[in-house]
Amino acid sequence: MAIEASDPQAPDWQPTLRGPSLSLRPVTPGDLDTLHAAASDPLIWAQHSETNRHERAVFERFFAGALACGGGLVVQEISSGRVVGSSRYYDWNPSDRSVVIGYTFLARHLWGTGANRELKRLMLDHAFRWAVTAWFHVSPGNLRSQRALGGIGAHLHAREQVMVGGVPSPRLIYRIDRAG
């Protein structure tokens, strides 16, 4: 579901954000090749429901979703300037002031370095300017994401079927609320 931003007071779901080691910026159509290069390692997708996302044709659908959702972000490593992953905001619900953060991947050399925590903290701090709740939809087999979400204070809220690429898929629904 695309994020609507016609209201001038609407949240900016494609910000440019900068942390100590990562920067985030809006995804553009010209990012396909560099994002696919970062995503082409099959081990990145081994615990995801779409384990073949490293393949170009499958990744192109993932990339099209990042462009269409109105909240797609490219992750760059500040020290090298390399594109090392992506994430996105989607399904903004202004009535209950909630947004989903997900479809995140990072290059393997960043695993275990705190990069995912930095990425999520940047996104959460930005989201909580408008939202009071952030949701995360995680494939039940994605143990890395489940551990990472626990590490940032998210809590398992529910188990649901969520539409992924038009197909109902089981998901663990994690929640984190704005402090205060």
**Phi-psi sector, 166: left (phi>0), alpha (psi -120 to 50), beta:** left
Helix 32-39 to helix 56-68 angle, to the nearest 10 degrees? 120
Residue 152 amino acid letter: I
Residue linked to tokens 């995804």: 27
Q: Tell me what the mean pLDDT of segment 76-99 comes to.
A: 97
The answer to which of 43-52, 85-94, 159-168 has the lowest mean pLDDT is 159-168
Q: What is the CATH number of domain 17-134?
A: 3.40.630.30
The mean of the pLDDT values for the chain is 92
pLDDT in tens, 36-47: 999 999 999 999
Q: Tell me what the mean pLDDT of segment 116-143 comes to.
A: 96
Q: Is the pLDDT of residue 116 over 60?
A: yes
Model pLDDT, residue 169: 86
- Centroid of chain to Cα 180: 24
Model pLDDT, residue 4: 47
Model pLDDT, residue 162: 80
C-alpha dihedral sign at 110, 172, 97, 31: positive
The answer to which of 10-24, 112-126, 164-178 has the lowest mean pLDDT is 164-178
Q: Tell me what the mean pLDDT of segment 21-48 comes to.
A: 97
Give strand ranges (E) for 19-112: 22-26, 72-77, 83-93, 98-106
Confidence of residue 167 (pLDDT cuts 50, 70, 90): confident
Q: Tell me what the mean pLDDT of segment 118-130 comes to.
A: 97
